[in-house]
Chain A
Amino acid sequence: KAGVTQTPRYLIKTRGQQVTLSCSPISGHRSVSWYQQTPGQGLQFLFEYFSETQRNKGNFPGRFSGRQFSNSRSEMNVSTLELGDSALYLCASSLDGLAGFTDTQYFGPGTRLTVL
């Protein structure tokens, strides 16, 4: 079974631009969660989508948004990029997501975003 895929793998943007990242979950998984990872803050939860609905949201500004399509693929968007948005953005998929405490998340390879 193919794993979680993310595109693009690397991105370089300048301040003020916007960016869209894509995530394709493992076949059959309906939940997609997004995380931001930086050396100082570690892995921080952005949001979770399940069946095209945002089910949970972390403490990030409204510049960070996402959506999920009927095939469970998900995108996240960051508008008006800031230098501090430079990070590794990871998506993780699972069968049922956060509704089931026995559910297990599997991570994609990540997108490394650099904001200049």
Chain B
Amino acid sequence: QKEVEQNSGPLSVPEGAIASLNCTYSDRGSQSFFWYRQYSGKSPELIMFIYSNGDKEDGRFTAQLNKASQYVSLLIRDSQPSDSATYLCAVIGSGNTPLVFGKGTRLSVIA
């Protein structure tokens, strides 16, 4: 059973701070890693994806991947109240396997 684990939160950070969201996965052969944001009552929207070890930056968002540790994280710089949402980590494993989602981390940015 391929698993993706996330701390459910809530993770509370003050406005302007850096929010750090973490995700671990069980399938060592996993190839692709995605972060989605889901506002309450809405569908998930893609924030970014990462395939290679290291960091990938997109605006205020940075994804970090460490395949040896089977760990992927998302950093949100200068957090805003509008960033308050549930963040879902998703992984495509080895072989022709479906996207596996973690249960999400709820982020609350306090003004």
A interface with B by C-beta (< 8 Å):
33, 35, 41-45, 48, 55-56, 58, 88, 90, 98-99, 101-102, 104-110
- Looking at the complex, which one of A55, A98, A107 makes contact with B45 (CB distance below 8 Å)? A107
Is the Cβ of A101 less than 8 Å from the Cβ of B51?
yes
Is the Cβ of A104 less than 8 Å from the Cβ of B49?
yes
A43→B45 CA distance, assembly (Å): 13
Tell me if B110 counts as interface (CB < 8 A to partner A).
Answer: no
Question: How near does chain B come to A24, taking the closest CB pair, in angstroms?
Answer: 14
Is the Cβ of B42 less than 8 Å from the Cβ of A90?
no
* Interface residue count on the B side (C-beta < 8 Å): 23
A interface footprint on B88-109 (CB within 8 Å = 1, 0 otherwise): 1010100011111111100000
Tell me if B43 counts as interface (CB < 8 A to partner A).
Answer: yes
Beta-carbon nearest neighbor of A39 in chain B: B103
Q: Which of B43, B46, B97 has the most CB of A within 10 A?
A: B43
A interface footprint on B28-48 (CB within 8 Å = 1, 0 otherwise): 000110101000001111100
